[in-house]
Amino acid sequence: MDDVATPPRSGSAETVESGVLAALTGLMSRWSSSDVQSRIAQGVGVALDASEVRAIYVLGMRGGAARPSELAHQLHLTRPTASKLIARLAADGLVEKTVDPSDGRAAVVRLTESGEHTLTRLRSAGDGLIAHATQGWTAEESSALADLLGRFVDGLMRATPIPPDDPVAARASSTEPEPN
């Protein structure tokens, strides 16, 4: 049986915040696990490992393109590890590395048409998992979850700004060009 975090019961000594933290930790652990991400990819007929799936998602969230350093930061990878990941995705025809149109000295990783198609299939599979998890919910309950979760994420982003001394964040937001 999976260890799934549950919110505190009424009258519990556990705070609501502790219950939210436990549920969020359980969700993040389960959703981002290599097993779940690989199964999602296999389910839509693509042979990608978990890091490749996450890279496709991140590029999709960023409009289909990002600098290699930004991708590394978002995926919590070192630049050399991100470079190897980008090379694998490029070899599979899912991304291409091009010159940044806003700074000709920098590189940008961009989803190819095949990468966009893969992203669409992965998102569809994710939508299916969410539909399955909320099966039996009313439309109002599903809508409330989406609204509250969006508000929660916005609040969390405001509450956890990137520290100015974070070397990875500093490199990711640097104006230094990346080699092509």
Domain boundaries, the chain: 34-133+159-180
Three-state DSSP at 70 gives helix
d(CA 143, CA 137): 10
117: Cα separation from own chain's centroid: 17
What's the fold here for domain 34-133+159-180? Arc Repressor Mutant, subunit A (1.10.10)
Give the pair of three-digit tokens for residue 32: 């981002």
Tens-digit pLDDT string for the chain (180 aa)? 455 555 555 555 679 999 989 999 999 899 888 888 888 898 889 889 999 999 999 999 999 999 999 999 999 999 999 999 999 999 999 999 999 888 888 899 999 999 999 999 999 999 999 999 999 999 999 999 999 999 998 998 889 876 554 444 443 444 444 444
115 contacts 123 by C-beta, under 8 angstroms:
no
53 contacts 40 by C-beta, under 8 angstroms:
yes
pTM (two decimals): 0.75
